[in-house]
Amino acid sequence: MRKLIGFLLLAAPAWASGFVCLGPTGSSSLTLSTSAGSWTQCEGGGTGIPADGDWVIWRSTGTLTINQNLGTVGGGGVNDIRQENGTITVSAGVTIVFNSTGTNPVGSGTAANPGADSTSKGILLSNGTAFNVSGTAASRAVLTAANGTSPIWMAHSGDSTWTGCTTFTANVCNGSSASHNQYPVTFAYADFYVLGTNTSGFYGLYWANFGTNVAVSFDHCQFFNPFQVIYDTANTGSISFTNNYISNPSGAYPLETTRSNTGPSATVTGNTLITGAASAAAGALYYCLQGCGSTDYEQNAVSSTATASYSGLISTTNFSNNNTIKNAYDQFAEPSSQGQYCTSFWVSTGDTTSSYTKNVCGGGSAVQLHIIATGSLAVNPTLSWISQWKHNAPSQGQFITYGGATTGTQTFSLLNNVLVVEDADSSNFPISFLGFTGGAFVNFIVVNLDHNTAIQAASNGGQGLQMGEDTTAGAVASSRVRSNLVLNGAANGGSQIMDGNSSGLNTFNTSACSNSVGVCNNLTYGAGTNGAYHRSSASGVNGFDNNVQLHPNALYGDLAVNPMLAATGRRPCGFGVVLGLDGTCGTLFAALASRALGAGTGGCANGVCGTFTDGGYGASSANVFEAMRLWLFKGATPQNPQVWCAGSDGEAMGAVPFCKQGKVFLAAAFQ
């Protein structure tokens, strides 16, 4: 017997493979396991509940509780579930098997009203109050196709949602199109197999238009081989995407919003993405096509293969204010595609509140942070306590700040970051940091570099800290370079600190240091044939130096000694050894992916959901990403006492503060 499930199950004509089973009208509520006889138009006159081959339609203002499995793997599964009213709740432990056999979700119908002859089946969220999948850690819900490989989908088509479906004619269901607002959808502890297909309106959860304070939430879910998870075109509302695992997405952007920065705010935390053989060549976990709303992006992990290079977060236009990007880890395989970024975003005009801090990024050619700002008001993003390593892209920076202003000032501050370049390709020209003005702006950007450690571990001809691009428009203004530590590991290495605008348009803040210069108290060690410092034609008058005493010089507090860093060989995936793993990226990311299972259910392997306290590397109730970063920073701690308190502010040169600890250490040693 084939029947539809009772969201609103439609009875099908004799030519159809199943029946349309209609839920009740009015305000009735049904529980699937006890609702036999409550459905109309099902096979047998409505004496049963939906089965393989049936459509399910819910039209009551009440609640449908799906508390038993729908569809069977051997029997082909149910066809589309249509919500036209009320609330639908899928209980913990329930498996819904759809009758998907191909990739066409439309058939003879439309995106708002899929035809009976479609080959990809799913959930049509036309109208209602709420849709919920309520699994638990001990009893997960599952949504899949009967064959395990064809896509399923969930869709709300915005201003053209379809209701009134009761029967199919020529593969098209009757009823009418109308505008219906979005409504909250929540998914907890659910596993989705092959969610979404590459057809507009069916990319994953396709959530379009007319949302007002509407929430979309996924928590502790797993997505195996999806096209996308969320494709959102809503004007307002919010997305909460927490503690999920995405494996081998075939679409470039598992989470994608396409509206301007008036669009949905987002909480994207605790997620793991691991690309695979089916993944696109390049993409991102979270992509904002026209800008993100206020975003909290924390404790996410993205692992890419050599042929599928995914960023963590990309926003192609302005963010809203009040964004937090923190404790994320992006790991790129070697080699990965050129020009891909761990994070790339445009900073909104007037944004003085957003922060990018305490992140880890590594591997391949894609360990770049790309910050772009354009506008007329002050922009002051602070990028701090970040660890990045392994950079193979030619002529680019691990950190890139790119901006300018028509009026006013844009300021970028990079504080206490560790940058490690390992590039054995002699054709590349890698740069640890590159800050410049992009475009024909009246006012150049201001860049402040304080207490950063840049290690050119095995580079060929690369630069350390480059201020300004070698173009007429690419200069920086009133900038400073203080208390940084730059090491060069190659004999043919490029300059370690550069006045990089050959047109002489850079200017440095002469109030930033004593002796009326803006570059001071930096350590350069291992200078190659190009020397430690690179001067432009204006370096003696623009505040880089005084044109008499050149860097490095004790007059400016410069040092050129070996800082004797504690353990420069530490790399992010090596932190797995601290967790009891083998130190490879594969085992670390498998443990991070287990966060989606929840604690006590085989999830949270090796303590990745807990906190870490270890005086050996300074962790105190730190989450796993912060513990990893601290462990990496510990390796960048200078052991040479000359460096400990030699910064312009009396702190250690470089990213790791060690003046106070060093004094305590020395005092104890000589007692």
The 3 state secondary structure assigned to 339-351 is: CCCCEEEEECCCC
Let me know whether 642 and 588 are in one domain.
no
Is 426's pLDDT higher than 70? no
Question: Tokens standing for 390?
Answer: 């392994």
Let me know whether 581 and 458 are in one domain.
no
Of 44-53, 366-375, 624-633, 640-649, give the lowest mean pLDDT range: 366-375
Could you tell me the pTM of the whole model? 0.92
Of 23-27, 254-258, 315-319, 463-467, give the lowest mean pLDDT range: 315-319
| Distance, CA of 534 to CA of 14 (rounded, Å) | 82
| Distance, CA of 446 to CA of 444 (rounded, Å) | 7
| Distance, CA of 498 to CA of 631 (rounded, Å) | 30
Of 123-137, 185-199, 279-293, give the lowest mean pLDDT range: 279-293
| Distance, CA of 400 to CA of 395 (rounded, Å) | 11
Let me know whether 503 and 554 are in one domain.
yes
Looking at the DSSP assignment, which residues form a beta bridge with residue 330?
A: 302, 361
Is 80's pLDDT higher than 90? yes
Of 245-254, 260-269, 377-386, give the lowest mean pLDDT range: 377-386
| Distance, CA of 183 to CA of 107 (rounded, Å) | 26
pLDDT of residue 551: 95
- Provide the sign of the torsion angle of the four alpha carbons 133, 152, 33, 4, taken in this order: positive
Measure the CA angle with vertex 13, ends 10 and 19; round to 5°: 40
Host domain of residue 615: 570-635
- On whether residue 210 sits in a domain, the answer given is no
Looking at the DSSP assignment, which residues form a beta bridge with residue 273?
A: 246, 302
- On whether residue 595 sits in a domain, the answer given is yes
Measure the CA angle with vertex 238, ends 259 and 92; round to 5°: 130
Residue 213 pLDDT level (bands cut at 50, 70, 90) = low
Let me know whether 431 and 511 are in one domain.
yes
334: number of Cβ within 10 Å: 12
Let me know whether 458 and 600 are in one domain.
no
Let me know whether 576 and 563 are in one domain.
no
Is 625's pLDDT higher than 80? yes
**Strand 172-173, strand 168-169: pairing:** antiparallel
Let me know whether 550 and 420 are in one domain.
yes
Looking at the structure of the chain, the number of domains it has is: 2
In terms of Cα–Cα distance, which of 186, 124, 192 is closest to 158? 124
Tokens 């944004």 found at: 351
Average pLDDT, stretch 21-39? 83
Looking at the DSSP assignment, which residues form a beta bridge with residue 367?
A: none
Average pLDDT, stretch 550-557? 96
pLDDT of residue 16: 39
Single-letter amino acid, residue 217: S
Strands (E), 489-594: 497-499, 519-520, 523-525, 533-534
Let me know whether 466 and 525 are in one domain.
yes
pLDDT of residue 366: 46
The C-alpha R_g of the chain, in whole angstroms, comes to: 29
Average pLDDT, stretch 271-279? 94
Let me know whether 485 and 587 are in one domain.
no
Tens digits of per-residue pLDDT, 474-503?
889 999 999 999 988 665 667 889 998 888
Let me know whether 484 and 606 are in one domain.
no
pLDDT of residue 662: 75
- On whether residue 270 sits in a domain, the answer given is no
Percent of the chain at pLDDT > 90 equals 48
Let me know whether 559 and 660 are in one domain.
yes
The answer to whether 536 and 499 are in contact (CB under 8 A) is yes
Strands (E), 149-277: 153-156, 161-163, 168-169, 172-173, 176-178, 185-188, 190-193, 205-207, 215-219, 222-224, 230-232, 238-242, 245-247, 255-257, 265-269, 272-274
Tens digits of per-residue pLDDT, 596-617?
999 888 899 999 999 999 988 8
Residue 87 pLDDT level (bands cut at 50, 70, 90) = very high
Residue 414 pLDDT level (bands cut at 50, 70, 90) = confident
Let me know whether 501 and 645 are in one domain.
yes
- On whether residue 425 sits in a domain, the answer given is yes
How high does pLDDT run on average in the chain?
Answer: 83
Q: Which residues contact 560 (CB under 8 A, 6 or more apart)?
A: 523, 524, 525, 527, 532, 552
| Distance, CA of 436 to CA of 344 (rounded, Å) | 16
- On whether residue 37 sits in a domain, the answer given is no
Judged on CB neighbours under 10 Å (0-12, 13-18, 19+), 562 is middle
In terms of Cα–Cα distance, which of 201, 192, 190 is closest to 161? 201
The answer to whether 452 and 414 are in contact (CB under 8 A) is yes
Is 407's pLDDT higher than 90? no
pLDDT of residue 395: 53
Looking at the DSSP assignment, which residues form a beta bridge with residue 163?
A: 176
H-run or E-run covering 630: helix 624-635
- On whether residue 96 sits in a domain, the answer given is no
Rank 282-291, 365-374, 618-627 by mean pLDDT and report only the highest.
618-627
Residue 2 pLDDT level (bands cut at 50, 70, 90) = very low
pLDDT of residue 378: 44
